[in-house]
Amino acid sequence: MSFMKTRFILLLLTVICLGCNTDTGKKEQSKEPGSPRIINIVNFIRQTDYRVQNADSLLFETVREQINLLNRYSFAATFLLQYDALINPKYQELLKKGLKPDSEIGAWWEITQPHVEAAGIKWRGEHSWVSHANIAFTTGYTPQEREKLVDVYMEKFREIFGKYPQSVGSWYIDSHTLAYMYEKYKIIASCNCKDQVGTDGYTLWGGYWNQAYYPSKLNAYMPAQTIEGQIPVPIFRMLGSDPIYQYDTGLGRDRQGVISLEPVYRDSGMDKKWVEYLLESIVNQPCLAFNYAQAGQENSFTWNGMQKGLEMQFPIFDSLKKLDKIKIQTLGESGKWFKEKYSLTPPTAVTVLTDIRNEGRKTVWFNSRYYRTNLLWEGKSFRFRDIHLFDEKMESAYLNKPGEGNQFLYFTLPVVDGFMWSTADDRAGLRINCIDKEGNKTEVLLNEPVVTEIAKDVLQVECKDQNNNIFKIIFYEDRFEVSSQPSSNGLNWFLELKTVEGKELPFRSIDNNRIDAEFMNYKYSITCKEGIIDKGITANYIFRLIPVNNKLVVDCTNKR
């Protein structure tokens, strides 16, 4: 068989796989015009890494091979330079000569010894780069030191490349630094780490899940609700996280593993089946404003570690790009598009209706500037696995003073937390239950969901239960509604929150239509605009949301 014929057949099989819906009885959801599917290829560059033998040469080789692969497919990409790599003439020459004009060079915001010393600050690390949160990130420096670090980097970058960078990424950038970069140097895009607990010392939990958001001026992990309260730089969530399985990985341990698009991970980003599963949800399923994934890899993993995964992923991206199923953009291009399109953070969704492990799981994520929530099906068992509220007035602990130690912690405001309030054997969640005429409580089991974009910013999820009662969950920007259409009289249902005993919960008072809570010394509330709240008087449940006329309306704007 000829090479061209073989390549054609492989391309056709890839397109067929990604274009079909393997769940029977469901219609494929068509894309709405103006809801692009965006892939950013972001590779960030360290000069050295004390954990890697022969690091300097291997890390350089990695970037050279990444550029060669990109040029083979004519993909635009973003390369983000740590300061130690920025000042290395070898990297300067490689990027200037090797990258095509449509690619982008920006800043990677991990702090190194030459960077700190150029800013006149004392270095505290054992090596010239370390991963400790209070040394490698600006959270470990005073606001004045953060500004010096920005100024030194920006002027050096302009000296080398003739302009300031438009994009600055990191596992996390604090709000003071980000706002300073915007106000003085006019950056237009940033990126930060996916949600994770304890991994590499970084805990970011409860934030805008995937896609992008405008951060609060007081807390760069917290989405803002107002133009006045936001930094007008969209932050894109990195690493292409598994929408079903990343959330629960690591339950019962003090840190999570990684299930992501990163090409070094054998069971996800290096596995073609998993990559196609993730891209099917990105390309073909409802997402509202847009859908997004970040591809690429940090050079510390070396070319030997990432080559197999990247060389598998790129032909898939190429076929989807040629079919206009995805847009491959630089981070700066995506930031520019986002700012032109949205003055405030838009509602988005991530929908996964096929299970890579064939265990009957499905999930829907919904995000807005007010809250995020996650629905999970495990077979016919259903729960709200997660609800977190957002409030731009909640200050980060690191806003005005340095953090200490090798951990940093960023959270939003929990209402349902299926990870923190669970164990490996007992999962917390908000479940639909009903009570029969004899007073027996049973869990409502739901059949296949139908997910529909009923407006550009409104998502509907509809299911039938085992008795043909129809349940609808509708997500709006500021609230969500749960309603039922009973198949016969006498359906008595409610949402019930159960958690593992012994978990510290934020709820301080519960009355008939309002729950007041406090988390990390910040007070917030959630309100039933339609429906009644019943406080659990025993240890059997925390609270119930009881519908009125078969309808619940839950306000998520934290109006107090």
Based on the structure, what is the number of domains in the chain? 2
Distance CA 274, CA 270 (A): 8
Query: Which of 302, 321, 352 finishes a domain?
Result: 352
Helix, coil or strand: residue 189 = strand
Is 27 within a domain? no
pLDDT of amino acid 34: 67
DSSP 426-485: S--EEEEEEE-TT--EEEPPB---EEEEEETTEEEEEEEBTT--EEEEEE-SSEEEEEEE
Is 91 within a domain? yes
Helix, coil or strand: residue 53 = coil
What is the sign of the dihedral through the CA atoms of 544, 546, 551 and 553? Answer: negative
Query: Which of 352, 387, 420 finishes a domain?
Result: 352
Q: Is the pLDDT of residue 11 over 70?
A: no
Name the pLDDT band for 13 (thresholds 50, 70, 90).
very low
Q: Where is pLDDT greater, at 536 or 181?
A: 181
Residues 6+ apart with CB under 8 A from 47: 56, 59, 82, 84, 85, 88, 91, 112, 129
Neighbours of 36 (CB within 10 A): 19
Note whether 14 and 54 are same-domain residues.
yes
Calculate mean pLDDT across residues 368-394: 97
Query: Which of 324, 352, 380 finishes a domain?
Result: 352
Note whether 208 and 288 are same-domain residues.
yes
Note whether 373 and 300 are same-domain residues.
no
Is 26 within a domain? no
Is 28 within a domain? no
Is 63 within a domain? yes
Note whether 368 and 457 are same-domain residues.
yes
Q: Is the pLDDT of residue 24 over 80?
A: no
Is 33 within a domain? no
Report the CATH number that the domain containing residue 463 is assigned in CATH. 2.70.98
Is 34 within a domain? no
Note whether 333 and 365 are same-domain residues.
no
**HSE-up (13 A, CA, CB side) for residue 361:** 18
Calculate mean pLDDT across residues 268-295: 97
Percent of the chain past pLDDT 70, that is, above it, reads 93
pLDDT of amino acid 132: 85
Closest CA to 180 of 458, 374, 399: 399
Note whether 373 and 235 are same-domain residues.
no
Q: Is the pLDDT of residue 552 over 80?
A: yes
Count the residues in the chain. Answer: 560
Calculate mean pLDDT across residues 325-340: 98
pTM as predicted: 0.92
Is 189 within a domain? yes
pLDDT of amino acid 525: 96
Note whether 197 and 346 are same-domain residues.
yes
Report the CATH number that the domain containing residue 267 is assigned in CATH. 3.20.20.510
Note whether 328 and 466 are same-domain residues.
no
Domain range holding 294?
3-20+39-352
Pair type for strands 167-169 and 104-108:
parallel
Note whether 440 and 467 are same-domain residues.
yes
Cα angle, residue 482 at apex, residues 544 and 387 outer, rounded to 5°: 65
Structure tokens at 25: 């009885």
Note whether 78 and 167 are same-domain residues.
yes
Distance CA 393, CA 379 (A): 39
